[in-house]
A and B are shown apart, each in its own frame.
Chain A
Amino acid sequence: MDVPCSRARHPGLLARAASLAAVFLVLASHVSSAQAPATARDIVDHVDRLLRGESSVGRLVMEIETANWSRHLELEVWSRGRKHALIRVLSPRSEAGTATLMVEEQVWNYLPRADRTIKIPPSLMVGSWMGSHFTNDDLVKESQLIDDYDIEIAFEGDRDGVEVWEFELIPKPEVAVVWSRLEYQVRKGDMMPTWARYYDEDGAVARSLQFSDFEVMGGRLVPSVMQILPADKPEESTVVRYESIEFDIGLSTDFFSLRNLRTAP
């Protein structure tokens, strides 16, 4: 008998979006040092490294619209490198203290009302994260973007008066992702990402990300708003807005522990 899983939201990813932003942020700072890395992959890789810094902490607001609910969450996000992240819910009060920890591709949730930490089993990995269009799985997968995909420049030129790159990412042969292809558009001028599209095997867009409201935060230019739009449900969306972010705060991997999952560090 099936364990009825809640309908998988189109896998979105909070930190993946952050990473993407990171990717292109670094591109921006890199351009200023007047060095042009050779291939598309190099660009993306370099950018990813630079943007993540060693570590970061940020506050964001997430607005979720689905057929079944509207949610407004305030979150605190800690990250280090590609394999460590800690997200804590600050608001609404009924859910404050709920937290998610990712370490090396394993995910734990802390649930304040039950005062219990659970390790996320396969059945919940693909379930929606806090009711958004992300899944726990996305949290894990975002860090592997560079490793998992072959990246090429598909288009370089003018779109609506703006000079852009459009990258095409094809998953490497044995990588465990459901997408058949990803596409990104980046503004050449300030290296800001504008959109990302996730394709299924029939060539249809399964979901897309939109970046906007570019601001300087924590000393870097970032897209402060990201929207995740599932393709088959136009009325639904998850919108993430950064309120503040700091980079290179000197976190070690020890910070990302089950103890810190339970109580605010």
Chain B
Amino acid sequence: MPERTDPPGLSNGVLLRLAFRNVRKSARRSILTASAMTLGLALLILSRTLADGAHESWIDQGVRLGAGHVAVQGEGYQTSKSLDDLLSAADLDGAVEALGSPQFESRVSAYAPRLTAPGLASSTGSSVPVLLTGVDPAVEVEFSPLDDLLAEGRYLEPDDRLAAYVGEGLVRRLGLRIGSRFVVTAADADGQIQGQLLRVRGVFRTGVPDLDQSLVHLPLSTAQDWLGTRGGVTSLAILMWSSRTAAAARRELRDLLPSRGVEVLTWTETAPELEAAVKIDDLGDWVFHGITLAIVALAILNAVLMSVLHRRREFGVLRALGLTANETGRVVIAEGVMLSVISGLLGIALGLGVVFGFWSDGLDMSFLMDQELEISGSLIDPVMVPAFRIAQIGWSLLFILFIGISASLYPARQAARIDVAEAMKFER
């Protein structure tokens, strides 16, 4: 039989309208299938936003107690942790000045200079090893979570000289009260042992025994005098509004500061365990998403296939009327994609609605936890505040399309291969 040339095909617009009409017609079936997709995506959005929010919170908590999202330190301090590798007063000023420039203004939330050294705290009764941190009270209140964990007394104030902010555990072991005196001893910048008198002005409780026994905050100027650092500090910790801007900020700051004697580090280097924890959690999440979407894809496949198999006669008629196999296939794919897109968008909307409607202030998980939980040294806030990211929506839409298309491929092939004559035998 001679090959006949195909007549000009139907335009995509017509195919789409056909697809849309089909979807609308089998409304109930569509809705049922759509539910799977809607639910799946809603869950995806839910878990991603909560997880992103939780991670940001972990990082935030961790870097506040630690070295900030970005840290400016003396060269070699990260490994030696010794007062030999201080950030000099001049370099500190340089860094602060650099941070004042407009490029950082919108991204930097706060910065705090710290002088950290290990030492011994003694009272008349006993002595306990501690980690001393000289802080600038005015800045530190914005930076560190410790002042919020106040149990008694008050946090340090700018005019304090001998005030110390200590943990409950330390107070108990040394037999101290608010106002009590105690002496801290440490090796200064020249390696000589020096003592310093301090008075307890405030007591904090983190719930983590190690922190409650060993952290001591004292005024930065007092610490500098005591340890003879001549205005130097061990680090300048910088807090960004979002942890994602840290890498860029580090690069820019690196360029503005002298290349010798100064190191600029991001939190991934100063708190690698924190980064690892986030990554592992993310990984688990992606695995979960993968599974979710696989199941949704199967559901969609199932639904589209069903609908095709139930409309054999209809497709047969269409083919008899001139619709090509290829066009039939495309209609089915269009149906599948449409179904996916509608239900997917609904899912996204549902997910966002639920998350930000109910839990925009945070989902409080503390009913699950009696104790404080810590990851890689930073306290976990039991309240999970969701974080919204455009990229997330983008990925979700991509998934929807991907699922829609791939799930419809097989049914489309089936539809295209319908034998017209056979199809007429069916009722529908």
Please report A residues at the B interface, Cβ cutoff 8 Å: 1-3, 5, 7-8, 10, 105-107, 120-123, 125-126, 137, 174-180, 198, 200-201, 206
Q: Which of B122, B128, B161, B162 has the most CB of A within 10 A?
A: B122
Determine whether the beta carbon of B180 is less than 8 Å from that of A125. no
Determine whether the beta carbon of A177 is less than 8 Å from that of B183. yes
Determine whether the beta carbon of B124 is less than 8 Å from that of A178. yes
* B80 is an interface residue with CB less than 8 A from chain A: no
* B356 is an interface residue with CB less than 8 A from chain A: no
Contact of B197 among A174, A198, A200 (CB under 8 A): A174
* B79 is an interface residue with CB less than 8 A from chain A: no
State the CA gap A103–B114 with chains docked (Å).
Answer: 31
State the CA gap A179–B124 with chains docked (Å).
Answer: 7
Q: What residues on A are CB-neighbors of B127 within 8 Å?
A: 5, 8, 126
> Could you list some 18 contacts between A and B, CB below 8 A?
A2-B129, A5-B129, A8-B125, A105-B193, A120-B193, A122-B120, A122-B186, A125-B120, A126-B120, A126-B122, A174-B161, A174-B162, A175-B197, A176-B194, A200-B123, A201-B180, A201-B181, A206-B125
Determine whether the beta carbon of B183 is less than 8 Å from that of A176. yes
Main secondary structure of the interface of A (DSSP, over half): loop
Contact of B185 among A3, A126, A175, A180 (CB under 8 A): A126
B297 CB to nearest A CB, Å: 50
Determine whether the beta carbon of A178 is less than 8 Å from that of B123. yes
Specify the chain A residue showing the minimal Cβ separation from B186. A122
Q: What residues on A are CB-neighbors of B418 within 8 Å?
A: none
A118 CB to nearest B CB, Å: 13
* B371 is an interface residue with CB less than 8 A from chain A: no
* B110 is an interface residue with CB less than 8 A from chain A: no
Given contact pairs A2-B128, A122-B186, A177 touches B197 in the complex (Cβ within 8 A): yes
Q: What residues on B are CB-neighbors of A175 within 8 Å?
A: 197
Specify the chain A residue showing the minimal Cβ separation from B177. A201
B423 CB to nearest A CB, Å: 77
Determine whether the beta carbon of B129 is less than 8 Å from that of A3. yes
Specify the chain B residue showing the minimal Cβ separation from A201. B180
Q: Which of B124, B186, B195, B197 has the most CB of A within 10 A?
A: B124
Instruction: List residues 169-211 of chain B with CB under 8 A from any CB of chain A.
Output: 179-187, 192-197, 210
Q: What residues on B are CB-neighbors of A180 within 8 Å?
A: 181
State the CA gap A1–B209 with chains docked (Å).
Answer: 10
Determine whether the beta carbon of A125 is less than 8 Å from that of B183. no
Contact of B124 among A5, A125, A206 (CB under 8 A): A206
Q: What residues on A are CB-neighbors of B113 within 8 Å?
A: none
* B119 is an interface residue with CB less than 8 A from chain A: yes
Q: What residues on A are CB-neighbors of B197 within 8 Å?
A: 174-177
Determine whether the beta carbon of A105 is less than 8 Å from that of B192. yes
Determine whether the beta carbon of A178 is less than 8 Å from that of B183. yes
Please report B residues at the A interface, Cβ cutoff 8 Å: 119-120, 122-129, 161-162, 179-187, 192-197, 210, 213-214
Given contact pairs A123-B129, A178-B183, A180-B181, A8 touches B122 in the complex (Cβ within 8 A): yes
For chains A and B in complex, what number of residue pairs have CB atoms within 8 angstroms?
72
Q: What residues on B are CB-neighbors of A10 within 8 Å?
A: 124
Given contact pairs A105-B193, A177-B197, A200 touches B124 in the complex (Cβ within 8 A): yes
Given contact pairs A122-B119, A122-B186, A176 touches B124 in the complex (Cβ within 8 A): no
A153 CB to nearest B CB, Å: 24
Q: What residues on A are CB-neighbors of B179 within 8 Å?
A: 201
Given contact pairs A125-B120, A206-B124, A178 touches B181 in the complex (Cβ within 8 A): yes
A84 CB to nearest B CB, Å: 16
A220 CB to nearest B CB, Å: 32
B421 CB to nearest A CB, Å: 83
Determine whether the beta carbon of A176 is less than 8 Å from that of B195. yes
Given contact pairs A5-B129, A8-B126, A125 touches B193 in the complex (Cβ within 8 A): yes
State the CA gap A3–B129 with chains docked (Å).
Answer: 7
Specify the chain B residue showing the minimal Cβ separation from A120. B193
State the CA gap A206–B183 with chains docked (Å).
Answer: 16
Q: What residues on A are CB-neighbors of B123 within 8 Å?
A: 178, 200
Q: A177-B197, A178-B183, A179-B124 are in contact. List 19 more A-B contacts (CB 8 A).
A: A8-B122, A8-B126, A105-B192, A105-B193, A107-B193, A122-B120, A122-B186, A122-B187, A123-B129, A125-B193, A126-B127, A176-B183, A176-B196, A178-B122, A178-B124, A178-B181, A198-B124, A200-B125, A201-B180
B88 CB to nearest A CB, Å: 24
State the CA gap A43–B210 with chains docked (Å).
Answer: 48
Contact of B120 among A7, A123, A201 (CB under 8 A): A123
Q: What residues on B are CB-neighbors of A178 within 8 Å?
A: 122-124, 181-183
Specify the chain A residue showing the minimal Cβ separation from B182. A178
State the CA gap A7–B162 with chains docked (Å).
Answer: 26
Specify the chain A residue showing the minimal Cβ separation from B119. A122
Q: What residues on A are CB-neighbors of B119 within 8 Å?
A: 122
Q: What residues on A are CB-neighbors of B194 within 8 Å?
A: 176
State the CA gap A174–B195 with chains docked (Å).
Answer: 11
A12 CB to nearest B CB, Å: 12
Determine whether the beta carbon of B193 is less than 8 Å from that of A122. yes
Q: What residues on A are CB-neighbors of B181 within 8 Å?
A: 178, 180, 201
Given contact pairs A3-B129, A105-B192, A106-B193, A122 touches B185 in the complex (Cβ within 8 A): yes
Specify the chain A residue showing the minimal Cβ separation from B180. A201
Q: What residues on A are CB-neighbors of B192 within 8 Å?
A: 105-106
Q: Which of B182, B185, B192 has the most CB of A within 10 A?
A: B185
Q: What residues on B are CB-neighbors of A7 within 8 Å?
A: 126
Q: What residues on A are CB-neighbors of B125 within 8 Å?
A: 8, 200, 206
Specify the chain B residue showing the minimal Cβ separation from A207. B124
Q: What residues on B are CB-neighbors of A206 within 8 Å?
A: 124-125
Specify the chain A residue showing the minimal Cβ separation from B199. A201
Q: What residues on A are CB-neighbors of B183 within 8 Å?
A: 176-178
Q: Which of B120, B187, B196, B213 has the most CB of A within 10 A?
A: B120
Q: What residues on A are CB-neighbors of B195 within 8 Å?
A: 137, 176
Specify the chain B residue showing the minimal Cβ separation from A174. B197
Determine whether the beta carbon of B187 is less than 8 Å from that of A121. yes
B247 CB to nearest A CB, Å: 33
State the CA gap A106–B213 with chains docked (Å).
Answer: 27
Q: What residues on B are CB-neighbors of A200 within 8 Å?
A: 123-125
